[in-house]
Chains A and B, each alone.
Chain A
Amino acid sequence: MKTTTKNILFRNLTAAALMTCLPVSVALAEVELKNVKMRTNGLADFQSTYAKHGMLGIGLTNTLSENSESGLGVMFTGRYFATEKWYALGEFALSESKGMDATANTSSSSNDGVTRYALGLGYSVLQGTVSIYGERAMALTLAGELAVGEQTTYGNGGRYTSGGVSLQLQAPKYWTALGVRQFMIADDNLESIGQNRGMQWDISLGFWF
């Protein structure tokens, strides 16, 4: 191509036109960058699988201690899985207590209410499968449990500490558990009449959440 005035003018005009377009294209690119959305490659379209986080249940509890008749009550329990073996647990119980009134140190003829709440942790010592007829099998867990909380008896509160075992039978939709534990309450009034320690058993039934 010859270097003529026409060619030089044509080249410069092309360059000028491109230079003009450059800021526009940059601006368009910026707009495009600002509108970037996270792409999930369709992962969000999959429905998450139903997850079991823990167990909720209701049950019967019975408290046995010296100088007191057994006190039957109702108990609400919750367990939240932390690992394959460890889980956190919480419970709330309402029960009756027939025995000596700690404040008056006399026999109480009426039923006194006992409230208890506790938080703790459990460890599955044994895990296996059981079957009765051989057709259906269920998971079985034997766990050690420790719980700390507060028990209010005769209007006095004391720290409640318990340690025991829980045998849990886990069906696909429901579960049932049988628990036995030793407990101790840090309450001087209860200690003076020998009701600050004893044994509790409970049986509970529940569902998964």
Chain B
Amino acid sequence: MIPPMNFLPRQIVYQYYIQVNISLIIGMLVFLCTLLLSAPSFASLDYIQLRSGPGLAYPITLEVPSERPLRALERRLEWYLMTDERNQGWIKASELYKLDTLPRDELWKLINDTHTGSNSISFIAGTDSVFGAEYGRPWRNSDVWAMLLRSPSGNNDWSSFHLGLKQQFTEFTDVLSVNWLAGAGFVYEGSGSDKWSSDNDGLFPSISLGLEASWKIAPTFELATRINSLMAVDNGFNDFNQRTHLALVWTIKI
């Protein structure tokens, strides 16, 4: 029973207040300690989110505790379809470390498998009715490439095949760069076509020079704008013909 304050000496009142405040402080400290001690138990309740498809755009359809054993069923690029033998969902390889039950060696194996090769395949579509494909692979500090072009514009059709080198000229950021490429090969002109020679049809020796601005959208995919000039000679190097086209080039790493 707390006596009314008016009937107590001032000293006793102060003592009472101090006791109450000390009790409050101790109580708050106990409460904070309890919170802090209980924090690890919250962390152990981590959930792994799995999606309905291999991409961030697909909705999250499953959440499983990090302690639940999951097994990889299949892979698509950097995404794994995991199952707990009842449900399944997709998870990005970079989030696999959150799975407590996945052995470390298996985790690294799964991550290593997502790394792509260094060879590349490019597709080309340009002005002058040009389209084609290109294969490239690294060689020392450059890339060697083999390029097949075709221009099927009615009766004036021609094709070309070149082998050459591609090297980075300059780099603006990690994703934007300018490359040059040079190669040698031949141009084939179909019968009736006069794009390369008005006198003859057939094969002509040729060189290819190009400059491209490349945008690395992802480690496995690049888009580039390329200006490419093909030069061919005919009649024992007496006739010189040149054609230039502007092209869109999309490259995938395999």
Contact = CB atoms under 8 A, between A and B. Distances in A.
B53 A129 contact: yes
B180 interface: no
Contacts of B22: none
B123 interface: yes
Nearest to A127: B57
Contacts of B253: 82
Contacts of B154: 156-158, 186-189
Interface string A4-37: 0000000000000000000000000000000000
Nearest to B114: A51
Contacts of B155: 156
A60 B205 CA distance: 42
Contacts of B152: 150, 157-159, 186
Interface residues of B, number: 47
Nearest to B221: A82
B239 to A, nearest CB: 25
By size class, the interface of chain A is 35 or more
Given A84-B56, A137-B52, A52 B75 contact: yes
Interface string B59-89: 1010000000000111111111000000000
Q: Which of B56, B79, B130, B153 has the most CB of A within 10 A?
A: B153
A46 B77 contact: no
A148 B250 CA distance: 12
B179 interface: no
28 contacts: A43-B108, A43-B109, A49-B72, A49-B73, A49-B75, A49-B80, A51-B113, A81-B76, A82-B218, A82-B220, A83-B77, A83-B221, A84-B55, A84-B79, A86-B217, A86-B218, A86-B221, A124-B55, A126-B57, A128-B57, A128-B58, A129-B59, A148-B123, A149-B131, A150-B150, A159-B151, A186-B154, A188-B154
